[in-house]
């Protein structure tokens, strides 16, 4: 299986050039895109140019970093200077950012080769990538099923082998849930660990950028590269970034693992439950001490989230007014007419719905009942986690209540789509790191994900438990059969 380290070895031993590796990724993209539709924009020319620069450095005897020459996919809500950044929305369909996001700048500085911009739910609002106004992404394990969302393009691209690693963003589960649906590893780091500068804002108090890869090690390498303080993001944490690969030791002796009881209730697919229970038993066999943990307010997360996130979104998306960038309708009569009709044409139904919820929740007379109440419930959920982490090192639960569903299954009922984020949302509300990794398959061959949640800035613990589990299993070695 392809991994960052393996490709790095091939590069420094001159078995393959970065251009050959980039060309192979681009060929795979060309072959699979008619089926997967993971990418909104493929940046072939730029990728080969970046790869050539890496080859020049190798030829000159320069030392290269682990990410140099590695093909990377980037979610299309991360601004890339000179490359169209659409957020899968008509309103930004032709937007070419005049500046670069901090994370993509860090990738470029590390010599990574960006092969393209990946599909997402419009403005990252959704759990299936079906709200994209550009195209529908398929799940590489079964083309009739959704890849999850909102970072569905980034997850499908890695699972399908179109790139080695990718970046997504996670506001309520948008990295972990598609990672689970596509059978790969995805991590949402602690809020503030990775700079959000240049990430198109959805819900600013929850949004966080993170990596997708086939293995825990590749996720650890990529996170180490993109994490770190950034003066351009005032919520960015000024902390030392450790070498996360140091924690990749397959030993769980004495590690305390809590199982969140409330995630095993109604609505959980029995096949998902079985796979996750078996995974927990394996953690025990590996030396972990398993404890049942109760987070009684966990289940209120969805209601709190669907007040807080749309409220913040309604404010953040006010900037799309047809004045400074993005689309504008023709023949407007006056300014208000231009605003209302531009936004009516530019936004899709899910984005409009969330703007409406948020505007309502923040409007005069309702603020205390909705927004303030939700923020107080957020405190209670955070307290549940704080109490749990007094007893255990990490928490585990299913990443999603089901495996990937069929395209179209939930698009008619918005509320049923919101419920797919049940297991992931509380982690965003508390700002904690969470990772999903493959832990089995259901009887129809769709991957199941195990979520590992760590305390604030304890990505090290999440990596250690995840790595130990991965090394003891072979789920990550399986690939979808795509011809």
Partner 1 sequence: MLDRDQVRKVAYLARLELTPEEEETFTTQLSNILDYFQQLSELDTSTVQPTTRAIDVSNVTRADTLQPYPNRDAILECAPDREGDFFKVPKIINPE
Q: Which residues are catalytic?
A: 75, 150, 174
Between residue 294 and residue 353, which ones bind partner 1 under the rule CB under 8 A? 297, 300, 302-304, 306-307, 314, 318, 321-328, 332-341, 343-344, 347, 349, 352-353
Among 185, 194, 252, 374, contact with partner 1 (rule: CB under 8 A): 374
User: Residue 165 or residue 374: which is nearer to partner 1 going by CB?
Assistant: 374
Between residue 408 and residue 427, which ones bind partner 1 under the rule CB under 8 A? 414-415, 418
Residue 132 CB, nearest distance to partner 1 (Å)? 19
Between residue 20 and residue 79, which ones bind partner 1 under the rule CB under 8 A? none
Q: How far is CA 320 from CA 44, 123, 254, 326, 394, in A?
A: 30, 12, 52, 7, 40
Residue 221 CB, nearest distance to partner 1 (Å)? 24
User: Residue 95 or residue 202: which is nearer to partner 1 going by CB?
Assistant: 95
Angle (nearest 5°) at CA 466 between 464 and 471: 95
Residue 72 CB, nearest distance to partner 1 (Å)? 25
Among 39, 181, 244, 370, contact with partner 1 (rule: CB under 8 A): 370
Piece in contact with partner 1 (CB under 8 A), picked from 242-250, 252-260, 358-366, 397-405: 358-366
Between residue 447 and residue 466, which ones bind partner 1 under the rule CB under 8 A? 456
Residue 342 CB, nearest distance to partner 1 (Å)? 9
Alpha-carbon gap, residue 65 to 56, rounded angstroms: 14
Between residue 131 and residue 160, which ones bind partner 1 under the rule CB under 8 A? none
Residue 27 CB, nearest distance to partner 1 (Å)? 33
Piece in contact with partner 1 (CB under 8 A), picked from 52-60, 195-203, 269-277, 367-375: 367-375
User: Residue 235 or residue 479: which is nearer to partner 1 going by CB?
Assistant: 235
User: Residue 201 or residue 327: which is nearer to partner 1 going by CB?
Assistant: 327
Count of residues near partner 1 by CB under 8 A: 73
- Asked if 367 is part of the footprint of partner 1 (rule: CB under 8 A), the reply reads no
Task: Mark 169-198 with x for binding to partner 1 (rule: CB under 8 A) and - for no binding.
Answer: ---------------------xxx------
Residue 340 CB, nearest distance to partner 1 (Å)? 4
- Asked if 428 is part of the footprint of partner 1 (rule: CB under 8 A), the reply reads yes
User: Residue 125 or residue 164: which is nearer to partner 1 going by CB?
Assistant: 125
Alpha-carbon gap, residue 117 to 97, rounded angstroms: 13
- Asked if 234 is part of the footprint of partner 1 (rule: CB under 8 A), the reply reads yes
Residue 306 CB, nearest distance to partner 1 (Å)? 7
User: Residue 145 or residue 297: which is nearer to partner 1 going by CB?
Assistant: 297
Residue 139 CB, nearest distance to partner 1 (Å)? 26
Between residue 194 and residue 213, which ones bind partner 1 under the rule CB under 8 A? 205-206
Between residue 273 and residue 302, which ones bind partner 1 under the rule CB under 8 A? 297, 300, 302
Residue 10 CB, nearest distance to partner 1 (Å)? 38
Among 51, 133, 221, 355, contact with partner 1 (rule: CB under 8 A): 355
Q: How far is CA 50 from CA 53, 97, 107, 118, in A?
A: 5, 19, 11, 19
User: Residue 66 or residue 200: which is nearer to partner 1 going by CB?
Assistant: 200
**Contacts of the segment 23-32: beta carbons below 8 A, 24+ positions apart:** 23/48, 23/51, 25/71, 25/113, 25/115, 25/162, 25/163, 25/164, 26/115, 28/160, 28/161, 28/162, 29/115, 29/116, 29/157, 29/162, 29/163, 32/140, 32/160, 32/161, 32/162, 32/482
């Amino acid at each position: 299986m392809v991994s960052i380290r393996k490709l790095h070895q091939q590069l420094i031993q001159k078995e393959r050039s970065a251009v050959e590796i980039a060309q192979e990724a681009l060929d795979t993209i060309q072959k699979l895109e008619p089926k997967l539709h993971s990418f909104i924009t493929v940046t072939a020319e730029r990728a080969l140019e970046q790869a050539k620069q890496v080859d020049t450095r190798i030829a000159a005897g320069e030392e290269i970093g682990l990410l140099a020459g590695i093909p990377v996919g980037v979610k299309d809500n991360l601004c890339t200077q000179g490359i169209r950044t659409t957020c899968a929305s008509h309103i930004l369909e032709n937007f070419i950012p005049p500046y670069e996001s901090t994370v993509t700048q860090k990738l470029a500085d590390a010599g990574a080769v960006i092969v393209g911009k990946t599909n997402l739910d419009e403005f990252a609002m959704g759990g299936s990538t079906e709200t994209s106004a550009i195209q529908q992404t398929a799940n590489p394990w079964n083309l009739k099923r959704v890849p999850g969302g909102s970072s569905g393009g980034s997850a499908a691209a890695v699972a399908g082998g179109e790139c080695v690693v990718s970046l997504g963003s996670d506001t309520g589960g948008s990295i972990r849930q598609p990672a689970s649906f596509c059978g790969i590893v995805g991590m949402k780091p602690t809020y503030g660990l990775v700079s959000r500068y240049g990430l198109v804002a959805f819900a600013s108090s929850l949004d966080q950028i993170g990596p997708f890869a086939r293995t825990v090690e590749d996720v650890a390498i990529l996170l180490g590269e993109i994490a770190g303080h950034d003066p351009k993001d005032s919520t960015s944490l000024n902390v030392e970034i450790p070498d996360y690969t140091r924690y990749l030791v397959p030993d769980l002796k004495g590690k305390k693992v809590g199982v969140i009881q409330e995630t095993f209730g109604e609505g959980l697919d029995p096949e998902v439950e079985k796979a996750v229970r078996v995974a927990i038993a394996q953690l025990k066999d590996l030396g972990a001490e398993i404890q049942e943990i109760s987070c009684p307010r966990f289940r209120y997360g969805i209601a709190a989230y669907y007040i807080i996130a749309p409220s913040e979104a309604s404010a953040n998306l006010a900037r799309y007014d047809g004045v400074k960038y993005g689309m504008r309708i023709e023949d407007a009569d006056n300014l208000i007419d231009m605003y209302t009709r531009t936004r009516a044409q530019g936004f899709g139904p899910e984005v409009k719905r969330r703007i409406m919820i948020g505007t309502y929740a923040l409007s005069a007379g309702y603020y205390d009942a909705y927004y303030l109440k939700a923020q107080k419930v957020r405190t209670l959920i955070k307290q549940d986690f704080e109490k749990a982490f007094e007893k255990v090192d990490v928490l585990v639960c299913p990443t999603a209540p089901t495996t990937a569903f069929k395209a179209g299954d939930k698009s008619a009922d918005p509320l049923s789509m919101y419920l797919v984020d049940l297991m992931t949302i509380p982690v965003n509300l508390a700002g904690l790191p969470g990772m999903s990794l493959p832990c089995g398959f259901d009887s129809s061959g769709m991957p199941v994900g195990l979520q590992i949640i760590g305390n604030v800035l304890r990505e090290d613990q999440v990596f250690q438990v995840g790595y130990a589990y991965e090394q003891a299993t072979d789920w990550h070695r399986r690939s979808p059969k795509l011809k």
